[in-house]
């Protein structure tokens, strides 16, 4: 028995043939790209040694999963993944609490859970957890690394994938590196951007846009105690890392590999376009960023090939798509479909689908290997990064349109039933972003407050229709925790001094478990939404035309308020028809390829001149 144990330990002490095969496959390109950035053979050798060690330390269960996913590279492009993003404390108190709520996630059909930032940070200086002070420690209020390992193992037993945020661009000013840099240690100062006068910072400011011009203006912070400026593109307590220093890249990759060895399946690369800085540029989307992400992809494919990289690139499609890399040299496995999300809410406010149709046509024309995460709401604000060049062709100018959108979702224009709040409003430019839960933006909060049953039914119908439309898009749909039961805005954040200045907390409220308990009651708001979404989820997982690599296109409806999306795979065809208007409409389509089944009512109908109720939709399958 003892000899068997010793043999097992010996096997674990060195990499196997599979690792060598992966390493050899990528070695030449990896060495070339690393040398292109750093020209430092010793640091490259150190990186390779550490990769091997992290592979050795990777658990057998994770290696088995890696092997299966290598053999089935399309595993995440199917129609059976449904995500949910949640804050651990808001959802269930801590990681142990989340583990106890896995039955609920399964009830929601969720098999991809995105745990919002949980690594150690400083209360009051966390930016929602995106200012990390220790990449190998969980926030004490949320648990421990052992709790994380237990949670991921429990998730994997239920075939639930776990996603986490990896904050690459910066650290907290309370991170050990930052503390030592502040004390004047040159080794650690070189891991950031330090300047003893404002000459170079002023040169950067001439070309680098501000991320938060109202709440955190400028891109540098003066440190009186250190007598230096430090680059802080986001908030003063978030110090930008200097990826020109190979020590920074290596150490961050070691943190990455340590975290995925805790059982993480999907890593969200936060603010990835910003990670390389060059004087005289916007410090966004520079070529070196893609070199770094490509290196990260290869490191992942060697050590932990079952792990997916999810890029957070909050920009227009032309700047988003390059983060997929190429089919031959891929970078991120998945990207957020940010512009489509923003365009969706523009469509809700205008009842005009032409811009959304154009956006979907662009996405549908991309290679099928590209996988987007689709969502209606997330933890962040809604920025109005729309295609204003196209809108101008219809006489719509950027500034007044942004004003209209903000007024609409405040409930002040366009016969709106929405309730929400502005974020980062700039009185000089008139620009602002927007916050609110899906339910509140759809009118559920207003209808509930006014106890208007008819308005409530209309708001629920819009909420469900938007989710049905999201499920029809190619990629992976992701719910925001609470949306499955129509949870509305939580204004209690205004009483917390650490949150009051940040209106994004309006949609980051605690999970209302007393309302979730009503999910099975079809006579409640929660039950109506939960039950209808459940039906949509079952349809999506049942019908193979919903796979990510299916053919998808938009169909002209000849009504400005009605969108039609078609999907086709292996002889099966499905039409999704969505009415963005509060009035009954007719979709003047004429699909002359047989009769269709209404997948909700199971009735039979022709896909021609389809009458759709206000804020309603149809899923039609060709018989």
Q: What is the CATH number of the domain that holds 199?
A: 3.90.400.10
Residue 623 has a pLDDT of 93
Q: What are the tens digits of pLDDT across the range 221-255? A: 999 999 999 999 999 999 999 999 999 999 999 99
Q: What is the CA radius of gyration of the chain?
A: 25
Q: Which residues contact 116 (CB under 8 A, 6 or more apart)?
A: 85, 86, 87, 88, 128, 129, 165, 379
In this structure, the answer to whether residues 211 and 314 fall within a common structural domain is no
Residue 9 has pLDDT above 80, yes or no: no
Domain contains 280:
yes
In this structure, the answer to whether residues 62 and 138 fall within a common structural domain is yes
The residue from 290, 316, 336 where one domain ends is: 336
Q: Are 160 and 264 in contact (CB under 8 A)?
A: no
The residue from 336, 356, 377 where one domain ends is: 336
The three-state secondary structure class of 13 is: coil
- The whole-chain average pLDDT of the chain stands at 95
In this structure, the answer to whether residues 159 and 220 fall within a common structural domain is no
In this structure, the answer to whether residues 185 and 228 fall within a common structural domain is yes
Domain contains 147:
yes
What CA–CA distance (Å, rounded) separates 430 from 425?
Answer: 7
Q: What are the tens digits of pLDDT across the range 529-568? A: 999 999 999 999 999 999 999 999 999 999 999 999 999 9
The DSSP call for residue 614 is T
Q: Is 185 a catalytic residue?
A: no
Residue 12 has pLDDT above 60, yes or no: no
In this structure, the answer to whether residues 192 and 282 fall within a common structural domain is no
Residue 457 has pLDDT above 60, yes or no: yes
Q: Average pLDDT for residues 578-584, to the nearest whole number?
A: 98
Q: Average pLDDT for residues 576-586, to the nearest whole number?
A: 98
Structure token digits, residue 149 = 């390992």
In this structure, the answer to whether residues 44 and 143 fall within a common structural domain is yes
Nearest to 462 by CA among 597, 337, 349: 349
Q: Are 168 and 275 in contact (CB under 8 A)?
A: yes
Structure token digits, residue 17 = 């043939």
Domain contains 438:
no
Residue 319 has a pLDDT of 76
In this structure, the answer to whether residues 269 and 316 fall within a common structural domain is yes
Residue 315 has a pLDDT of 77
CATH of the domain at 575: 2.60.40.1180
In this structure, the answer to whether residues 255 and 223 fall within a common structural domain is no
Structural domain that includes position 609:
549-622
Nearest to 619 by CA among 542, 566, 560: 566
Residue 620 has a pLDDT of 98
Q: Of these residues, 147, 174, 240, 270, which one is catalytic? A: 270
Q: Which whole-number Å values give the CA distances from 9 to 51, 235, 303, in the listed order?
A: 19, 46, 19
The residue from 240, 264, 294 where one domain ends is: 240
In this structure, the answer to whether residues 67 and 157 fall within a common structural domain is yes
Q: Is 270 a catalytic residue?
A: yes
Domain contains 186:
yes
Domain contains 119:
yes
Residue 4 has pLDDT above 60, yes or no: no
Tokens 């050990």 correspond to 176
Residue 2 has pLDDT above 60, yes or no: no
The DSSP call for residue 325 is B
Output the pTM of the full model.
0.94
Q: Of these residues, 66, 301, 312, 490, which one is catalytic? A: 312
The total number of structural domains in the chain stands at 3
Q: What are the phi and psi torsion angles at 140 (to 5°)?
A: -55, -35
Q: What are the tens digits of pLDDT across the range 312-353? A: 988 776 678 999 999 899 999 999 999 999 999 999 999 999
CATH of the domain at 21: 3.20.20.80
Domain contains 599:
yes
What CA–CA distance (Å, rounded) separates 497 from 484?
Answer: 29
In this structure, the answer to whether residues 142 and 45 fall within a common structural domain is yes
Residue 317 has a pLDDT of 66
Domain contains 516:
no
What CA–CA distance (Å, rounded) separates 218 from 212?
Answer: 8
Q: Higher model confidence: residue 273 or residue 428?
A: 273
Domain contains 373:
no
In this structure, the answer to whether residues 153 and 298 fall within a common structural domain is yes
In this structure, the answer to whether residues 136 and 265 fall within a common structural domain is yes
Residue 11 has pLDDT above 70, yes or no: no
Q: Average pLDDT for residues 68-82, to the nearest whole number?
A: 96
Nearest to 329 by CA among 365, 290, 284: 290
């Amino acid at each position: 028995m003892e000899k068997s144990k010793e043999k097992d330990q010996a096997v674990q002490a060195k990499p196997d043939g599979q690792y060598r095969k992966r390493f050899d496959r990528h070695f030449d390109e990896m060495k070339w790209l690393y040398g292109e950035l750093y020209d430092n053979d010793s640091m490259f050798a150190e990186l390779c040694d550490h990769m091997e060690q992290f592979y050795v330390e990777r658990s057998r269960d994770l290696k088995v999963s890696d092997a299966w996913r290598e053999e089935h590279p399309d595993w995440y492009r199917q129609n059976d993944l449904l995500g949910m993003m949640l804050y651990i404390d808001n959802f269930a108190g801590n990681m142990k609490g989340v583990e106890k709520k896995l039955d609920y996630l399964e009830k929601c059909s969720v098999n991809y859970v995105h745990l919002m930032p949980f690594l150690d940070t400083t209360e009051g200086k966390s930016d929602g957890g995106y200012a990390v002070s220790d990449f190998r420690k969980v926030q004490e209020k949320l648990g421990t690394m052992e709790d994380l390992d237990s949670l991921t193992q429990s998730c994997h037993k239920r075939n639930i994938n776990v996603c986490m945020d990896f904050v690459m661009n910066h650290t907290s000013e309370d991170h050990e590196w930052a503390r030592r840099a502040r004390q004047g240690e040159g080794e650690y100062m070189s891991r950031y951007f330090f300047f003893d006068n404002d000459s170079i910072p002023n040169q950067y400011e001439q070309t680098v846009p501000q991320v938060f011009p109202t709440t955190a203006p400028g891109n540098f912070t003066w440190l009186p105690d250190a007598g230096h400026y430090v680059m802080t593109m986001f908030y003063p307590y978030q110090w930008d890392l200097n990826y020109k220093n190979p020590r920074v890249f290596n150490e961050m990759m070691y943190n990455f590999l340590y975290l995925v060895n805790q059982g993480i399946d999907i890593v969200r690369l936060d603010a990835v376009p910003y990670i390389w800085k060059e004087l005289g540029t916007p410090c966004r989307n520079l070529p070196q960023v893609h070199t770094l992400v490509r290196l990260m992809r290869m490191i992942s494919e060697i050590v932990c090939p079952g792990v997916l990289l999810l890029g957070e690139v909050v920009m227009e499609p032309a700047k988003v798509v390059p983060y997929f890399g190429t089919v031959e040299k891929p970078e991120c496995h998945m990207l957020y479909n940010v512009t489509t999300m923003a365009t969706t809410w523009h469509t809700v406010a205008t009842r005009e689908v032409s811009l959304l149709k154009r956006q979907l046509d662009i996405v549908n024309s991309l290679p099928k290997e590209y996988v987007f995460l689709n969502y209606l709401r997330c933890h962040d604000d809604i920025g109005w990064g729309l295609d204003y060049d196209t809108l101008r062709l219809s006489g719509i100018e950027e500034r007044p349109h942004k004003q209209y959108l903000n007024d609409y979702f405040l409930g002040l224009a366009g016969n709106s039933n929405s309730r929400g709040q502005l974020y980062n409003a700039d009185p000089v430019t008139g620009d602002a972003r927007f916050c609110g839960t899906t339910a509140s933006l759809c009118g559920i909060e207003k209808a509930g407050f006014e106890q208007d049953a008819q308005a409530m039914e209309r708001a629920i119908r819009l909420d469900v229709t938007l989710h049905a439309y999201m499920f029809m898009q190619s990629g992976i749909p992701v719910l925001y925790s609470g949306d499955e039961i129509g949870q509305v805005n939580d204004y209690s954040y205004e009483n917390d001094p650490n949150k009051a200045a940040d209106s994004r907390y309006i949609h980051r409220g605690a999970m209302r478990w007393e309302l979730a308990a009503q999910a099975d009651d079809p006579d409640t708001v929660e039950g109506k939404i939960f039950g209808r979404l459940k039906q949509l989820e079952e349809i999506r997982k049942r019908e193979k035309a919903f796979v990510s690599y299916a053919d998808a296109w938009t169909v002209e409806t000849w009504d400005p308020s009605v969108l039609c999306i078609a999907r086709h795979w292996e002889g099966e065809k499905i039409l999704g028809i969505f009415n963005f208007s509060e009035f009954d409409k007719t979709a003047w389509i004429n699909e002359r390829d047989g009769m269709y089944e209404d997948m909700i009512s199971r009735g039979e109908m022709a896909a021609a001149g389809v009458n759709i109720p206000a804020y309603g939709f149809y899923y039609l399958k060709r018989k």
